[in-house]
Amino acid sequence: MWIQPEKQPLVETFQLLDVDGTTHGEMPELTDGEMLDMFQWMVFARTFDERAVRLQRQGRIGTYAPFSGQEAAQVGSAYAIEKTDWVFPTYRELPVLWIHGTPVKQSLLYPMGAVSGGAVTKGVNAFPVQIIIAAQTLHAMGSAWASQYLGDKSVNVCYLGDGATAQGDFHEALNFASVMKLPVIFFIQNNQWAISVPRGRQAASRTLAQKAVAYDIPGIQVDGNDILGVYKVMTEAVEHARSGLGPVLIEALTYRHGPHTTSDDPTRYRDADEVAMWMQRDPITRFARFLTARGLLDSAKEAAMREDAEQRIGQAVIEAEAEAKGTLPEVFDMVYGTVPRELERQRDEAATLLAGKAQMAAGTAPVGSGASAGPGVNTRTSAQTASTAKGE
């Protein structure tokens, strides 16, 4: 019997919080204080994002990937995991990393080009920001396999975008995770666009959540702009994975308000009506309506949160800009706990090259030395080093 696509059951979108701030369904177990804290994180995230875009336009940081519009998906999911769990982020999950313990300053050092910007904060169970699309799905799967082997009960959360689900790595990771029943959650932030390619041109499947069916794992589509819904779904997924029942796939429907990165212009590929429609579903406005109706939030309290965010982010900018950018040889010391011999060789070669350039700039390089011979110094130094390496 053929499996006809049109006869497959439709995937319903899970939602607790409507656009107008009203709720329906069973609420997650959150105190008033916890909900206010989640809202404050959302406000902080939006404030940071807007400040970071301005910093890029001023030339104070490099290319930046905005995430405004995705605060509910990020804060709601991050709030549901423990510090002992592992996070595998892309370049857009900065709020997740902050909630998990990464200092805000660290997120500025990276686009500022500081060597230490790529480092992972000690004591924080998070992998470095992943730029290569979908590569982190395999890393998370491997880490989950280690968690299972060690029996440490940690859950591994892999964040990815809609475009990553079209990559081979994604399917390999889900297949292996399903076969091995690994404690890993694949959290897709479907923000509707993979740079300039709309969701409908990335995959013909009607939802991304239904891709879980092919790998026989639980999957769900949730309103990604509904922080209460995201938190509830994520909490259940964490319980599922931690109890040894295997992986989970979550598709959070959301929308990025701005460009893919500060290097592109979304008005060239997105319709203004589409943007306006999604702005009506803004996650912060929605949650604010809910909190206000419960008597937990008013305009003065929200303004104070924004002022606090401005001050904390301003201080982080000052500290990040004051930090030394690092040296080229230091780049080699951050990848491995014990530096391999090949990297040691490359580090030494880089140090020699830099020393030669410094001598040339100062005019102190001895006549006939490699440093004074211009480009030839690179070739000869490399050849000498290569010869040494062959002899090892």
Report, as residue numbers or ranges, the catalytic residues: 256, 260, 269
Helices 227-242, 283-293: crossing angle, 10 deg rounding? 100
Other beta carbons within 10 Å of 191? 24
Q: Which structure tokens are listed for 391? A: 């002899």
The partner residues of 221 in beta bridges, in order of sequence, read: 13, 251
Backbone angles phi, psi at 125, to 5 degrees: -80, 75
**Amino acid of residue 166:** A
> Whole-angstrom Cα distance, residue 118 to residue 95?
16
Alpha-carbon dihedral 288, 289, 292, 293, rounded to 10 degrees: -150
Contact 256, 191 (CB under 8 A): yes
C-alpha to C-alpha distance for 202 and 199, rounded to whole angstroms: 5
**Geometric angle at alpha carbon 115, from 113 and 116, rounded to 5°:** 110
Fill in the amino acid letter for 259. P
Per-residue burial over 220-236, b if 16 or more Cβ lie within 10 Å, else e, is bbbbbbbbbbbbbbbbb
Does residue 95 contact residue 103 with C-beta atoms inside 8 Å? no
